């Protein structure tokens, strides 16, 4: 049980750290995101968490740090667009512009 708490606490710590760095306009290497996503996936594979719980964790911490929900910032379908374990930390959606008049 102690190890499961340690893993889940580390996921939360890294998520807070990354989101705060990004909010503050600081650099954050993409490798930090990849490691975090790997930890989240490992927690699910070990049965310590679920995909939905990890996305809920991201959503709650994102909202607390950014004073807005991921749905408001990224679109209501962010969970489908950024399928688990991908986190919407660095890349923004490209705007889609019609190329024809139809």
Residue 31: which domain range? 2-81
What pLDDT digit, counting tens, does each position of 78-96 carry? Answer: 888 888 888 887 656 566 6
Domain count for the chain: 1
Distance of CA 5 to the CA centre of its chain: 19
Question: Do 70 and 59 touch, CB atoms closer than 8 A?
Answer: yes
89 within some domain: no
What pLDDT digit, counting tens, does each position of 34-82 carry? Answer: 999 999 999 999 999 999 999 999 999 999 999 998 888 888 888 888 8
Predicted TM-score of the model (pTM): 0.81
Nearest Cα neighbor of 42 from 14, 62, 19 is: 14
Q: What is the per-residue pLDDT for 75?
A: 81
Nearest Cα neighbor of 89 from 38, 24, 15 is: 15
92 within some domain: no
Q: What is the per-residue pLDDT for 35?
A: 95
Nearest Cα neighbor of 91 from 82, 100, 99 is: 82
95 within some domain: no
């Amino acid at each position: 049980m102690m190890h499961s708490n340690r893993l889940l606490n580390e996921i939360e710590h890294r998520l807070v750290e990354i989101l705060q760095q990004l909010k503050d306009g600081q650099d954050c290497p993409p490798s930090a995101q990849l490691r975090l996503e790997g930890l989240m996936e490992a927690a699910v594979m070990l049965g310590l968490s679920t995909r939905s719980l990890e996305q809920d964790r991201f959503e709650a911490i994102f909202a607390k740090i950014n004073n807005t929900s991921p749905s408001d910032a990224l679109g209501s379908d962010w969970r489908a667009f950024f399928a688990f374990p991908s986190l919407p930390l660095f890349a923004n959606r490209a705007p889609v512009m019609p190329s024809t008049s139809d």
